[in-house]
Amino acid sequence: MARTHNDMKSDSKLTHEKDVIEMEITLRPYQLSDVDDFMEWANDDQVIRSSRLRHYTTYEDALTYLQEEAIPHPWYRAICLDDHPVSFVSVKPGSDHQRCRGLISYALGSKYWGQGITTVAVKLAVPFVFEEFPDMQRLQAIVDVDNKASERVLEKAGFIKEGVFRKYVIVKGKTIDAAVYSLLSSD
């Protein structure tokens, strides 16, 4: 049986690795009432610059994104500090013959970088995702080879680097080489 929102909240608390902050890190679905917290990280230039995300500068635009994309998404969770969203971690499950895999993505408001928060969030997400999608045997991440912080998050969360796709995707107008990382449900 799929876990409920409340199950996930209570199960997904994890002690912060570096004790830099005392706040509790949890994952939960976004709600429309999170729009102000969402806009804070979704307009953070440092976050947007190094990801495929775009700015959400108006309240209406942000609400539309939450309503039409984040909330109906198959697996999109707010990374929360004391229940306030500071970013997201998402998994896009493959369909049909690709249902054995999912693509994980994440970001974090820049004022919280370097404290181990995203690593904790990814570690929290992994068991929930494998449980919610029983056909999924592989989680993968596609990361700009210049995004060392993101590569490090994946390494710390137990992902294995499998190689580099050269000139793989265009991010903010630049065609990047992308590292592919994976974690199997059997790892």
Ligand X SMILES: CC(C)(COP(=O)(O)OP(=O)(O)OC[C@H]1O[C@@H](n2cnc3c(N)ncnc32)[C@H](O)[C@@H]1OP(=O)(O)O)[C@@H](O)C(=O)NCCC(=O)NCCS
Report the 10 Å Cβ neighbour count for 75.
18
Could you tell me which residues are beta bridge partners of residue 163?
180
Please give the C-alpha separations between residue 50 and each of 62, 91, 125, 140, 150, in angstroms, as whole numbers. 20, 19, 22, 19, 10
Name the one range near ligand X by CB under 6 A: 2-10, 57-65, 66-74, 149-157: 149-157
Nearer to ligand X, 25 or 136 (CB): 25
Q: Report 84-143 residues binding ligand X (CB under 6 A).
A: 106-108, 113-119, 143
Of the residues 16, 21, 31, 50, which one makes contact with ligand X according to CB under 6 A: 50
Does position 8 interact with ligand X (CB under 6 A)? The reply is no
Give the three-state DSSP class for 92. Answer: strand
Is residue 26 a contact residue for ligand X (CB under 6 A)? Answer: no
Spatial distance between the Cα atoms of 64 and 25, rounded to a whole number of angstroms? 26
Closest approach, Cβ 86 to ligand X, in A, equals 9
- The residue among 108 and 183 lying less far from ligand X, judged by its C-beta, is 108
**Alpha carbon distance 77, 88 (integer Å):** 6
Smallest distance from ligand X to CB 154, Å: 8
CA 175 vs. chain centroid, Å, equals 22
Binding interface with ligand X (CB under 6 A): 47, 50-51, 106-108, 113-119, 143, 147-150, 152-153
